Amino acid sequence: MDRIRIVGGHALEGSIAISGAKNAALPLMIASLLTPDTLTLENIPRVADVGMLLQILSHHGVDYSVDGRRPGEEPHASRTLHLSARNIVDTSAPYDLVAKMRASFWVIAPLVARMGEARVSLPGGCAIGTRPVDLLIMVLEKLGANVEIESGYVRATAKNGLIGGEIHFPKVTVGGTHTALMAAALAKGHTLITNAACEPEVADVADCLVKMGARIKGIGQPTLEIEGVGSLHGASHSVVPDRIEAGTYAMAVAMAGGDVVLERAVPDHLESALDAISQAGATITVTNQGIRVRRNGAGISPVDISTAPYPGFPTDLQAQFMALMTKAKGKSRITETIFENRFMHVQELARFGAQIKLDGDIAHVKGVAELQGAPVMATDLRASVSLVIAALAARGETMVNRVYHLDRGFERLEQKLSGCGAVVERISGAS
């Protein structure tokens, strides 16, 4: 198992190229199941989740090729993907594939929409919460599918095709909105979706569906209207830059100090997080290349945040912001409203000497003057990178174990940070 070694205390200077968003790339790849033509996706990040999803899509019969792969690199080291679901050979997604990555459950929508049937294992319980799929099942039922749960599998059938309908989400759900858009794109007639997720990744997938021939109104808004079409065709689409990766590096600069340009980062996608980072004392400027983040001299100010669906503060940046607050000059409150168990980084941050008390969905952070490097363990994707942020400002050496969590969603993290002067190295295969 790889580990990452960091020696703290070095300011970050330079630029970091922001990759394509994992959370857009995955549903975009799944959208390839909607058409027998080729879907070309540019700016696909080189992260482990992409490789995992390629295995799942291959199982369904999707052929793919990758441009920009260097000889000898694994298939997940991708840039431009060409996906072709000409022949879907299997509409069933087995437990051993789906349990490894929650987003793989989303194949259910295009499979039932195009093939009239799908049988997909319930996704594995994830460390950050129970993460039910009741609202995704509700979507399929509202569009006329018959859904049964049998032996840990969700079986959805619509032998005569899906039929447009009205879907109101009682709670904002990203996966539920992806499911509704993909299913409604091929359903007969009109679908109205209310209280839809407005995350930029949802809009990115909707934009690609439109390029494929879907008829969608209201993209980026909580109310979406879809007029179903008989079939979708091939298209070419570039994945939106990863706002979570950009926000993470912005917080790393705010923590370690320095001056870094986040190339290709989209400021409009990060307003609430950038606002919190500036309140914490960093200077944010929008440049032609992306976002410039600086913090020199002055300490970190405490800021209270509460996670919320977009455009609120993203839950996927909560752990990173907590790491920043561990060195603030005072007390801050961090409230997690999306996932009930997304505080596993708290006990690992304590190993650096951070002072954090948990009270239900609120973490009370009392900033300390100095953090100390320590051996720590990554527990989930964003928790892992919060440990990296703490380590960058800690005195001495930190060893982050179980970095496979981090590799799910961060492309070449150690190269990007060391390119800006951080002392970060991967120790491959260490136990």
Ligand X SMILES: CC(=O)N[C@H]1[C@@H](OP(=O)(O)OP(=O)(O)OC[C@H]2O[C@@H](n3ccc(=O)[nH]c3=O)[C@H](O)[C@@H]2O)O[C@H](CO)[C@@H](O)[C@@H]1O
Ligand Y SMILES: C=C(OP(=O)(O)O)C(=O)O
| Catalytic center residues | 126
How many CA atoms, within 13 angstroms, populate the side-chain half-sphere of residue 400? 31
Determine the Cα angle at 277 with ends 220 and 315, to 5°. Answer: 50
Judge contact between 186 and 114, C-beta under 8 A: yes
- Closest CB 379 distance from ligand X, rounded Å: 15
237 binds ligand Y, rule: CB under 6 A: no
Determine the Cα angle at 104 with ends 234 and 78, to 5°. Answer: 60
Contacted by 409, from ligand X, ligand Y, none: CB < 5 to 8 Å by type: ligand Y
> Residue 193: enclosing H or E segment and its boundaries?
strand 190-194
Question: What sign does the CA torsion over 344, 347, 348, 349 have?
Answer: positive
How many CA atoms, within 13 angstroms, populate the side-chain half-sphere of residue 191? 31
| Residue choice 3, 60, 76, 102 for contact with ligand Y (CB under 6 A) | 102
243 binds ligand Y, rule: CB under 6 A: no
Q: Is 113 exposed, middle or buried (0-12, 13-18, 19+ CB in 10 A)?
A: buried
Site string for ligand Y, 17-56 (x = CB under 6 A): ------x---------------------------------
375 binds ligand X, rule: CB under 6 A: no
19 binds ligand X, rule: CB under 6 A: no
Q: Which two tokens stand for residue 226?
A: 């879809």
- Which 181-240 residues touch ligand X, going by CB under 6 A? 197, 201
DSSP 8-state assignment for residue 188: B
| Residue choice 29, 381, 385, 403 for contact with ligand Y (CB under 6 A) | 381
Contacted by 104, from ligand X, ligand Y, none: CB < 5 to 8 Å by type: none
* Nearest to ligand Y of 232, 411 (CB atom): 411
* Residue found by looking up tokens 């800690």 in the block: 394
Judge contact between 183 and 108, C-beta under 8 A: no
126 binds ligand Y, rule: CB under 6 A: yes
**Using CA atoms, how far apart are residues 423 and 361, in angstroms rounded to an integer?**
34
134 binds ligand X, rule: CB under 6 A: yes
135 binds ligand X, rule: CB under 6 A: yes
310: nearest Cα among 252, 247, 389:
247
Q: Verify cis geometry, omega within 30 degrees of 0, for the bond prior to 311.
A: yes
* Nearest to ligand X of 135, 393 (CB atom): 135
> Residue 64: enclosing H or E segment and its boundaries?
strand 63-67
- Residue ranges of the annotated binding site for UDP-N-acetyl-alpha-D-glucosamine are 102, 131-135, 316, 338
**Using CA atoms, how far apart are residues 1 and 431, in angstroms rounded to an integer?**
6
Contacted by 232, from ligand Y, ligand X, none: CB < 5 to 8 Å by type: none
| Residue choice 25, 56, 136, 209 for contact with ligand X (CB under 6 A) | 136
Name the closest residue to ligand Y (Cβ). 316
Judge contact between 53 and 104, C-beta under 8 A: yes
Q: Verify cis geometry, omega within 30 degrees of 0, for the bond prior to 36.
A: no
120 binds ligand Y, rule: CB under 6 A: no
Q: Which two tokens stand for residue 429?
A: 């295969």
133 binds ligand X, rule: CB under 6 A: yes
- Closest CB 37 distance from ligand Y, rounded Å: 27
26 binds ligand X, rule: CB under 6 A: yes
190: nearest Cα among 139, 232, 234, 224:
224
- Closest CB 111 distance from ligand X, rounded Å: 18
* Nearest to ligand Y of 23, 173 (CB atom): 23
- Residue ranges of the annotated binding site are 22-23, 102, 131-135, 316, 338
- Which 399-428 residues touch ligand Y, going by CB under 6 A? 409
404: nearest Cα among 121, 49, 159, 154:
49
| Residue choice 199, 207, 316, 407 for contact with ligand Y (CB under 6 A) | 316
48 binds ligand X, rule: CB under 6 A: no
32: nearest Cα among 8, 1, 54:
54
- Which 92-131 residues touch ligand X, going by CB under 6 A? 102-103, 129, 131
Site string for ligand Y, 382-401 (x = CB under 6 A): x-------------------
* Nearest to ligand X of 208, 420 (CB atom): 208
The footprint of ligand Y (CB under 6 A) covers 23, 102-103, 126, 128, 316, 381-382, 409
The footprint of ligand X (CB under 6 A) covers 23, 26, 102-103, 129, 131-136, 171, 173-176, 197, 201, 315-316, 338-339
